[in-house]
Amino acid sequence: MKRRPRINRWTASRRNLVFSNSIRQSLVQPHFVVAGTGVNEPIESMPGISRQSVDVLLETIDSDVQNGIHGHMLFGVIDNALKDSIASKASDSEMPLQKAVAELKEKYGKNIVLFTDVCLCTATDHGHCGIIHDNEIDNDLTLPELIKIAISHAKAGSDYVSASDMMDGRVKAIRKALENEGFTDTGIMSYSVKYASSFYGPFRDAASSSPEHGDRKSHQMDVRSGYKEAILEATSDEKEGADIIMVKPAMTYLDVVRRVSDAVSRPVAVYNVSGEYTMVMSSTEEGPQRKAMVQEIFYSFARAGADVIVSYHAREAVHGNWFD
């Protein structure tokens, strides 16, 4: 089957996250997972966010769950020494990301919704999101690697494998592989409308995923492109079987969120990215001013049609009761 609308209804926590119309319940907190034990390494450019080993991450997520955050997005950060040209480690079941997912699922089961980032860039020595062939990112050679990564996440227990690479045809390829392997309740959140944005800088430090040379403009979308390109990407992913369609970044593309939300019959997510977070954090102190700013930003996402909000502000927002 290409489409399984039941995937978004599978658990009460998925339904609350996607369909509740409550900003509070639709938030997803991102995390960076590293190897080792007892590691809690603050990311300088992103106040309040750190790279954590599995044991520390479990404590962090436990306190988040107690506070009422049920949506969590995990990024695996891989040691430079383990990177290679084909991102082999990204699909290794012994890596911290897969271990964290398995432990979290064992602990929380259906009471948590886990999203896991599927891309090559955190595990390639060249830092690109695909397989390099003749000095170009080769779309079709990259698909089998993305499938391996997605299947390893599904095996660990991820609720939504989240394809952020922007290769053509990857949703179809991943959906087919999930079906073949019997993962009929694993969802795909596709970073469908993802721009080659200058707002990802702090994330690339955090995940050590900067391209060694060149940029991501041959696959991520041109920031000058109009609605046609956005609708093309969103509707293609919908047809290929994506369960949630994402627009990223969020704040500079609210017009696109609205158009995409009107054009697809799947839930829409926005990713309030690292550079957007840093802008707010560097211009406010903890307190009422930051609260008001984040409220205004999240209301704009909801007004534009976002059903799910991925944001580094999620923890503070839920902890401070900033939203109903």
Nearer residue to ligand PBG within complex by CB, 8 or 162: 162
In the complex, the smallest distance separating the C-beta of residue 49 from ligand PBG, rounded to whole angstroms, is 9
Nearer residue to ligand PBG within complex by CB, 193 or 273: 273
Q: How far is CA 253 from CA 225, 271, 279, in A?
A: 11, 10, 16
Residue 301 interacts with ligand PBG (CB under 6 A): yes or no: no
Binds ligand PBG (CB under 6 A): choice among 34, 119, 246, 304: 119
Residue 110 bears catalytic tag? no
The interface with ligand PBG within residues 219-248 (CB under 6 A) comprises: none
Residue 203 interacts with ligand PBG (CB under 6 A): yes or no: yes
The interface region with ligand PBG, picked from 116-124, 137-145, 178-186, 255-263 by CB under 6 A, is 116-124
In the complex, the smallest distance separating the C-beta of residue 274 from ligand PBG, rounded to whole angstroms, is 3
Residue 278 interacts with ligand PBG (CB under 6 A): yes or no: no
Nearer residue to ligand PBG within complex by CB, 17 or 120: 120
Instruction: State which H helix or E strand residue 295 sits in.
Output: helix 288-304
- Give the number of other CB atoms < 10 A from CB of residue 59: 11
Q: Total residues contacting ligand PBG (rule CB under 6 A)?
A: 12
In whole angstroms, give the CA distance from residue 13 to residue 155. Answer: 20
In the complex, the smallest distance separating the C-beta of residue 9 from ligand PBG, rounded to whole angstroms, is 26
Residue 194 bears catalytic tag? yes
In whole angstroms, give the CA distance from residue 122 to residue 6. Answer: 31
SS percent in the chain: helix, strand, coil, step 5:
45, 20, 35
Nearer residue to ligand PBG within complex by CB, 64 or 165: 165
How many Cα atoms sit within 13 Å of 59 on the Cβ side?
8
Binds ligand PBG (CB under 6 A): choice among 274, 298, 308, 313: 274
Instruction: State which H helix or E strand residue 131 sits in.
Output: strand 131-133
Residue 323 interacts with ligand PBG (CB under 6 A): yes or no: no
Q: How far is CA 315 from CA 162, 185, 257, 289, 302, in A?
A: 21, 27, 23, 17, 18
In the complex, the smallest distance separating the C-beta of residue 57 from ligand PBG, rounded to whole angstroms, is 17
In whole angstroms, give the CA distance from residue 203 to residue 164. Answer: 13
The interface region with ligand PBG, picked from 53-61, 199-207, 228-236, 256-264 by CB under 6 A, is 199-207
Contact yes or no for 260/268 (Cβ under 8 A): yes
Rounded to 10 degrees, the C-alpha dihedral 103/268/130/213 comes to -110
In the complex, the smallest distance separating the C-beta of residue 151 from ligand PBG, rounded to whole angstroms, is 18
Residue 200 interacts with ligand PBG (CB under 6 A): yes or no: yes
In the complex, the smallest distance separating the C-beta of residue 43 from ligand PBG, rounded to whole angstroms, is 11
In the complex, the smallest distance separating the C-beta of residue 321 from ligand PBG, rounded to whole angstroms, is 24
Q: How far is CA 258 from CA 7, 199, 220, 230, 268, in A?
A: 24, 20, 20, 11, 9
The interface with ligand PBG within residues 140-159 (CB under 6 A) comprises: none
Q: Write out the two tokens for 119.
A: 């891309």
- Give the number of other CB atoms < 10 A from CB of residue 134: 5
Contact yes or no for 243/266 (Cβ under 8 A): yes
Tell me which of 99, 148, 172, 248 is the catalytic residue.
248
Q: Which residues are catalytic?
A: 194, 248
Q: Which residues bind ligand PBG (CB under 6 A)?
A: 117, 119, 121, 129, 164, 200, 203-204, 209, 216, 273-274
